[in-house]
Amino acid sequence: MNIKFYLLQRFYSAIIVLIGVSILIFIIARIIPGDPARMALGPTATQEMVEKYRDKLHLNDPIHVQYWFFIKGISEGDLGESVYTKRNVTTDVSKYFPATLELIIFASLIMVCVGVPLGILAGRFKDKPIDNISRLISLLGVVTPSFVWAVFLMIIFAFYLDILPVAGRLSQDTIAPDKITGLIIIDSIIRGQFNVTVDALKHIILPALALSLSALGQASRLTRSNITEVYDKQYIEMARAYGYNEFKIATKYALKPAMIPTLTILGLDFAAMLGNAFLVEFVFAWPGIAKYGVQAILYKDLNAITATTMIIATFFVFTNLIVDLIVAYLNPKIRLSGIQ
Amino acid sequence: MRIFKKNILAFLVTSLLSLSLMAGGTLRLDEVAIGEADPAKATDFADGIIMENVYDALVTEPQGGGPVIGKLAKDWEVSNNGTTITFHLNENVKFSSGNNMTADDVVYSYERLMNLKLGWSYLFDGWVKGIKKIDSNKVQFDLNEPYAPFMSSLVRFYIVDSKTLKANEKDSDWGQDYLLANSAGTGAYAITAHDPNVETRMAKNNNYFLGISDMAPNEVILKYNLDAPTVRTLISNDEHDISSNWLPTDVKAAIADSGDKLAKVVSAGGWYFKINTTRAPLDDVNCRKALAYALDYDSLVGTFQVTDEIAAGQKARGPIPQGMIGYSENVPLVEYNLDKARDHLGKCKYSGGDLKVTINWIAEVPFEESWALILQQGAMAIGYDATVETLPWAVFSENVTKPETTPNLSIVAVQAQTPDPDGLIYNMYHSAAAGTWQSAEWVQDDKIDAMLNAGRTTIDGQERVAIYENFQQAIVDMQPDLFISDLVTVYAMRDEIKAPTLENSAEYGFSTMAQNFSFRLMEVPN
Amino acid sequence: MKIFDSRAWYKFSKNPLSIVGLLIVSLIILMAVFANYLTPFPEHAGPFVDIPNKIKPPSSTYLFGTDKIGRDTFSRIIFGYRTSLYLGVIVLCIAVPIGTSLGLVAGYFGGKIDAIIMRITDIFLSIPPLVLALSIMAFLKPTLTNAMIAVSMMWWPWYTRLIYNLTRSIKNEGFVVSARIVGASHFHIIFREILPNCSASLITKITLDMGFVILIGSSLSFLGLGVQPPTPDLGTMVSQGSKYLPDIWWLSVFPGLAILIIVLGFNLLGDGLKDLFDVEL
Are C281 and A222 spatial neighbours (Cβ–Cβ below 8 Å)?
Answer: no
**What is residue A36's predicted lDDT score, i.e. its pLDDT?**
66
pTM, two decimal places: 0.79
Among candidates C228, C230, C242 on the partner chain, residue whose Cβ is nearest the Cβ of B229 = C242
CATH code of the domain in which A132 resides: 1.10.3720.10
User: Would you call C119 an interface residue with chain A, using a CB distance cutoff of 8 Å?
Assistant: yes
Residues A235 and A277 in one domain: yes
**Partner-chain contact A192 B3, CB within 8 Å:** yes
Residues A195 and A233 in one domain: yes
Q: What is the topology classification, in CATH, of domain B265-488?
A: Dipeptide-binding Protein; domain 3 (3.10.105)
State the chains in contact with A (3 or more Cβ–Cβ pairs under 8 Å): B, C
Are B268 and B53 spatial neighbours (Cβ–Cβ below 8 Å)?
Answer: no
Taking the C-alpha atoms of residue A191 and residue A202, their distance in angstroms, rounded to an integer, is 18
Min CA distance, A88 vs chain B (Å)? Answer: 11
Angle of the A255-283 helix axis to the A116-124 helix axis, nearest 10:
130
pLDDT tens figures, A41-73: 655 556 676 777 777 777 777 777 778 877 777
**Partner-chain contact A33 C139, CB within 8 Å:** yes
Enclosing domain of residue A265: 93-339
The CA-atom distances, in angstroms, between C55 and each of A302, B32, B49, B56 are 39, 25, 33, 44
Q: Could you tell me whether strands B138-143 and B128-135 are parallel, antiparallel, or unpaired per DSSP bridges?
A: antiparallel
The CA-atom distances, in angstroms, between A303 and each of A96, B229, B314, C97, C129 are 15, 31, 42, 34, 20
Q: Residue A281, class by beta-carbon neighbours within 10 Å (0-12 exposed, 13-18 middle, 19+ buried)?
A: buried
User: Would you call A157 an interface residue with chain B, using a CB distance cutoff of 8 Å?
Assistant: no
Segments making up each domain of chain B, as ranges: 26-242+494-521, 265-488
Do the domain assignments include residue A4?
no
Range with top average pLDDT, A294-303, B256-265, C270-279: B256-265
**Partner-chain contact C68 B367, CB within 8 Å:** yes
Residues A213 and A323 in one domain: yes
**Partner-chain contact A28 C222, CB within 8 Å:** no
pLDDT tens figures, B231-261: 888 888 888 999 998 888 888 988 888 889 9
Q: What is the 3-state secondary structure (H, E, C) of chain A?
A: CHHHHHHHHHHHHHHHHHHHHHHHHHHHHHHCCCCHHHHHHCCCCCHHHHHHHHHHCCCCCCHHHHHHHHHHHHHHCCCCECCCCCCEHHHHHHHHHHHHHHHHHHHHHHHHHHHHHHHHHHHHCCCCHHHHHHHHHHHHHHHCCHHHHHHHHHHHHHHHCCCCCCCCCCCCCCCCCCCCCCCHHHHHHHCCCHHHHHHHHHHHHHHHHHHHHHHHHHHHHHHHHHHHHHHCCHHHHHHHHHCCCHHHHHHHHHHHHHHHHHHHHHHHHHHHHHHHHHHHHHHCCCCCHHHHHHHHHHCCCHHHHHHHHHHHHHHHHHHHHHHHHHHHHHCHHHHHHCCC
**What is residue C1's predicted lDDT score, i.e. its pLDDT?**
44
Among candidates A49, A167, A300 on the partner chain, residue whose Cβ is nearest the Cβ of B230 = A167
**What is residue B12's predicted lDDT score, i.e. its pLDDT?**
52
On chain C, the residues whose CB falls within 8 A of the CB of B386 are 47
**What is residue A281's predicted lDDT score, i.e. its pLDDT?**
86
User: Would you call C51 an interface residue with chain B, using a CB distance cutoff of 8 Å?
Assistant: yes
Among candidates B254, B374, B390 on the partner chain, residue whose Cβ is nearest the Cβ of C228 = B390
* Chain B residue set in contact with C, beta carbons under 8 Å: 227-229, 232-233, 248-251, 254, 296, 299, 302-303, 363, 366-367, 369-370, 372-374, 376-377, 380, 386-390
Residues A137 and A271 in one domain: yes
User: Would you call C207 an interface residue with chain A, using a CB distance cutoff of 8 Å?
Assistant: no
- Host H or E run for residue C60: none
Min CA distance, B65 vs chain C (Å)? Answer: 35
pLDDT tens figures, C221-270: 887 777 777 788 898 898 888 888 878 889 989 999 999 999 999 988 98
Among candidates C123, C252, C267 on the partner chain, residue whose Cβ is nearest the Cβ of A139 = C267
Min CA distance, A248 vs chain C (Å)? Answer: 30
Residues A178 and A326 in one domain: yes
Min CA distance, A294 vs chain C (Å)? Answer: 8
User: Would you call A52 an interface residue with chain B, using a CB distance cutoff of 8 Å?
Assistant: no
Min CA distance, A104 vs chain B (Å)? Answer: 21
**Partner-chain contact A34 B395, CB within 8 Å:** yes
Are B103 and B136 spatial neighbours (Cβ–Cβ below 8 Å)?
Answer: yes
User: Would you call C224 an interface residue with chain A, using a CB distance cutoff of 8 Å?
Assistant: yes
**What is residue C3's predicted lDDT score, i.e. its pLDDT?**
52
C201: pLDDT confidence band, cut at 50, 70 and 90? confident
Residues A154 and A262 in one domain: yes
Question: How many residues in total does chain A contain?
Answer: 340
| Last residue in a domain, options A48, A78, A108 | A78
Residue A198 CB contacts under 8 Å (≥ 6 apart), including other chains: none
Do the domain assignments include residue A12?
no
Residues A49 and A158 in one domain: no
The CA-atom distances, in angstroms, between C218 and each of A244, B276, B394 are 51, 33, 24
Most C CBs within 10 A among B32, B301, B373, B396, hence the mutation to make, goes to B373
Q: Which residue has the higher pLDDT, A319 or B189?
A: B189
- Rounded to 5 degrees, what are φ and ψ at B445? -120, 125
User: Would you call C229 an interface residue with chain B, using a CB distance cutoff of 8 Å?
Assistant: yes
Residue A338 has pLDDT above 50, yes or no: no
Residues A43 and A145 in one domain: no
| Last residue in a domain, options A78, A101, A133 | A78
Region label for B38, one of left (φ > 0), alpha (ψ between -120 and 50) or beta (otherwise): beta
Among candidates A25, A31, A278 on the partner chain, residue whose Cβ is nearest the Cβ of C223 = A278
DSSP letter for B338, please: H
- Rounded to 5 degrees, what are φ and ψ at B414? -120, 135
DSSP letter for B332, please: P
Taking the C-alpha atoms of residue B435 and residue B425, their distance in angstroms, rounded to an integer, is 14
**What is residue B20's predicted lDDT score, i.e. its pLDDT?**
46
* Angle formed at CA A138 by CA C73 and CA C153, multiple of 5 degrees: 70
ipTM field? 0.78
**What is residue B11's predicted lDDT score, i.e. its pLDDT?**
55
Do the domain assignments include residue A85?
no
Three-state DSSP state, C137: helix
Do the domain assignments include residue A24?
no
Most B CBs within 10 A among A86, A88, A153, A161, hence the mutation to make, goes to A86
Q: Average pLDDT for residues A111-139, to the nearest whole number?
A: 83
**Partner-chain contact A275 C131, CB within 8 Å:** yes
User: Would you call C39 an interface residue with chain B, using a CB distance cutoff of 8 Å?
Assistant: no
Burial A242-272 (b: 16+ CB within 10 A, else e): eeeeeeebbeebbbebbbbbbbbbbbbbbbb
Residues A193 and A101 in one domain: yes
Three-state DSSP state, B397: helix
Q: Average pLDDT for residues C62-78, to the nearest whole number?
A: 90
Residues A308 and A285 in one domain: yes
CATH architecture of B26-242+494-521: 3-Layer(aba) Sandwich (3.40)
**Partner-chain contact A278 C119, CB within 8 Å:** no
Q: Across the 526 residues of chain B, what is the mean pLDDT of every consecutive 10-residue run?
A: 52 51 80 84 87 93 86 90 90 90 93 86 86 92 89 91 90 86 91 86 91 91 84 84 88 88 88 90 90 89 85 86 82 88 89 88 82 90 88 77 88 85 86 81 89 86 88 90 89 92 87 87 88
**Partner-chain contact A317 C215, CB within 8 Å:** no
Residues A131 and A55 in one domain: no
DSSP state letters, B152-164: HHGGG-B---HHH
Q: Which residue(s) pair with B201 in the sheet?
A: B193, B221
Query: Count of CB atoms within 10 A of residue A339's CB?
Result: 11
**Domain tally, chain A:** 2
**What is residue B319's predicted lDDT score, i.e. its pLDDT?**
87
Residues A195 and A241 in one domain: yes
